[in-house]
């Protein structure tokens, strides 16, 4: 199902361009390796990280959540972080071109319960 990033809509069928704005669709696998992903947030608990991912998905923003608590963090146990006191245990990564929109959404749904990561902190 083709998706238009300009109109932010999915279209049915085998379209090669958006019927609204004429944006040309890429093959889903074409350029997939070329996309730059960036770390935008650290979140302390698995429930909030899952909620953030589901919400970003609903806005058609691809995202990946990495656990920094090892296997037990994946199953939701609330163990101390190996990366320091107060450090978020779950990291949210999005494509660089979606960063600004994703940060706005996280601010809207999570309030102050997440740590925003700027480019200087992500290394």
Q: Tokens in use for 31?
A: 């350029």
50 CB-contact burial (10 Å; exposed 0-12 / middle 13-18 / buried 19+): middle
Dump pLDDT digits (tens) for 9-32. Answer: 777 777 788 888 888 877 654 544
Q: Give kind and range of the element (H or E) at residue 116.
A: strand 114-116
Write the pLDDT tens digit of every residue in 25-82: 776 545 445 678 899 999 988 889 999 999 999 999 999 988 876 555 445 455 554 5
Could you tell me the pTM of the whole model?
Answer: 0.61
State what percent of residues in the chain have pLDDT above 90. Answer: 33
Tokens of 39: 């770390």
- All domains of the chain in start order, with CATH: 1-34 (no CATH), 35-123 (3.30.70.790)
Q: Helices marked H in the chain — which ranges?
A: 46-58, 70-74, 99-110
């Amino acid at each position: 199902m083709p998706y238009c990033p300009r109109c932010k809509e999915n279209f049915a069928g085998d379209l090669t361009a958006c019927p609204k704005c004429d944006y040309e669709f890429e093959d889903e696998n074409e350029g997939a390796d070329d996309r730059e992903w960036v770390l935008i947030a650290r979140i302390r608990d698995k429930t909030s990280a899952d909620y953030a991912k589901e919400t970003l998905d609903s806005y058609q923003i691809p995202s990946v959540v990495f656990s920094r608590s090892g296997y037990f963090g994946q199953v939701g146990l609330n163990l101390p972080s190996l990366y320091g006191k107060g450090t978020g245990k779950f990291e949210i990564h999005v494509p660089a071109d979606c960063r600004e929109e994703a940060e706005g959404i996280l601010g809207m749904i999570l309030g102050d319960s997440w740590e925003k990561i700027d480019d200087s902190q992500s290394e």
